[in-house]
Chain A
């Protein structure tokens, strides 16, 4: 199976490392011969229809910062041109999240479908803004569209709900879908430090981004519950429908207050009929949603299985790439059946 990778940052490089590490395993277990035929970043691309040398690609990116400097096979073509012209079975889209207009990912994904490729993305932007549109392209071109990594990173949730829990109606989903805010609240609670201090420390440690706005404002969580609402609860909503409150006003005193009453405070995303909400909530100390550090957690209420709870890592290069690999394998199994 041939793949094009668009985006060669933290996750893009993680995907390449995971493919390298699992190459033999994939061959043995599934008979899958996985070839990366193009890698793109903002500088252009490296293209080799016979399959790129992945070690070399990682090295070029590390040393030169630009994949277009890949010896002999680097080009400065526009990415849409690469997607259109390079023959491949799957497009993996991992460019930065943009919650304003979903670009450039939206265009890349649509271009992928138009040129006959199945698409995998980890990117919340286009999913939270244009879910219906992207699904309709997938249908029109009869391609598979998978996005497990976009919500909860490595924590299985979308495919869990749609495949493992198939037959169940998902009535409600509630959880912590942002690791950065969970890390901050956990630390504030344990060490009685104020928000700004902990945020600064988290930035220094690389846990929070230089621009943490999307995380602490609740916007990132909102994008994720919109994806869940659309993809597993058949709702037709966008991020504009979500009531959002962030965590910037939380104080260590409030956390102590909550603790005295048997609670902790978590940034919770919640979706059910007539409710699409992100905000700080009191969670009982002994509740399974009370997970610490930068973990993510989700509780799904279903009609038959009742409550199902998953916990996992919501971020990280290799962790998140594992969800992308599971999408790759799934597409391979669906398309190679015969």
Chain B
């Protein structure tokens, strides 16, 4: 059996969007389990149990799901994609926030950004959500460290 853990948006049709490509590929879905309560960010964690598959087919499914914007967090209990959050303190805007985001996007994808309007002389703060492949997490951290030194930013991480 294959276990796929997904994170779906809490809106109608989301589950179907995940299941359709799988059944279109002719793969049997054994069950769909709602893992736990809705997370604080409104995402709904769901586990899909499939028949046994070879590596190649499994990879194709995961890719198709990801193409349609679904976050696959774990495959057979192995972490694949994770959401990480960071709060950044410093002169976030003045130190070229576009460049900061571009550089983080080399290793992950900044999907959400929340910014306080900075007082001209005081430090401001921003919150980012980044989706990252678990294998790129270390590189992402290293990039944050570099940014932190160069731009005197403090990254407060959720991991």
Assign chain A's interface to a size class.
Answer: 20 to 34
A60 at the interface (CB under 8 A from B): no
Interface string of A222-265 (1 = CB under 8 A from B): 00000000000000000000000100011101101110111101
A281 at the interface (CB under 8 A from B): yes
Which listed residue (A282, A284, A285, A286) contacts B157, Cβ 8 A?
A: A282
**Total number of A-B contacts with CB less than 8 angstroms?**
61
B77 at the interface (CB under 8 A from A): no
Q: Which of B9-17, B27-35, B66-74, B83-91 lies at the interface?
A: B83-91
Contact B158 A257 (CB under 8 A): no
Task: State the interface size on chain B (CB cutoff 8 A).
Answer: 20
B44 → chain A, closest Cβ, in Å?
A: 15
Which listed residue (B41, B85, B89, B114) contacts A282, Cβ 8 A?
A: B85
Which listed residue (B39, B41, B123, B158) contacts A251, Cβ 8 A?
A: B123
Interface string of B96-140 (1 = CB under 8 A from A): 000000000000000000101000000111110100000000000
A243 → chain B, closest Cβ, in Å?
A: 10
Contact B87 A249 (CB under 8 A): no
Q: Give the residues in chain A near B41, CB-CB below 8 Å.
A: 261-262
Contact B154 A257 (CB under 8 A): no
A12 at the interface (CB under 8 A from B): no
Contact A257 B129 (CB under 8 A): no
Contact B40 A249 (CB under 8 A): no
Q: Give the residues in chain A near B40, CB-CB below 8 Å.
A: 261-262, 284-286
Q: Give the residues in chain A near B156, CB-CB below 8 Å.
A: 250, 254, 258, 265, 279-282
Q: Give the residues in chain B near A256, CB-CB below 8 Å.
A: 116
A20 → chain B, closest Cβ, in Å?
A: 46
Which listed residue (A279, A282, A285, A286) contacts B87, Cβ 8 A?
A: A282
Interface string of B138-157 (1 = CB under 8 A from A): 00000000000000001011
Interface positions of B from 30 to 76, Cβ below 8 Å from A: 39-41
Which of chain A's residues has its CB closest to B115's CB?
A257
Which of chain B's residues has its CB closest to A256's CB?
B116
Which of chain B's residues has its CB closest to A258's CB?
B87
Contact A253 B154 (CB under 8 A): no
B81 → chain A, closest Cβ, in Å?
A: 18
Which listed residue (A254, A260, A262) contacts B89, Cβ 8 A?
A: A254
Interface residues of B (CB under 8 A from A): 39-41, 85-87, 89-90, 114, 116, 123-127, 129, 154, 156-158
* Interface pairs A-B: 6 shortest CB-CB: A262-B40, A282-B158, A254-B125, A257-B127, A280-B156, A253-B125
Q: Known pairs A250-B156, A254-B89; list 9 more (Cβ under 8 Å).
A: A251-B89, A251-B123, A256-B116, A257-B127, A261-B85, A262-B39, A265-B156, A281-B158, A282-B86
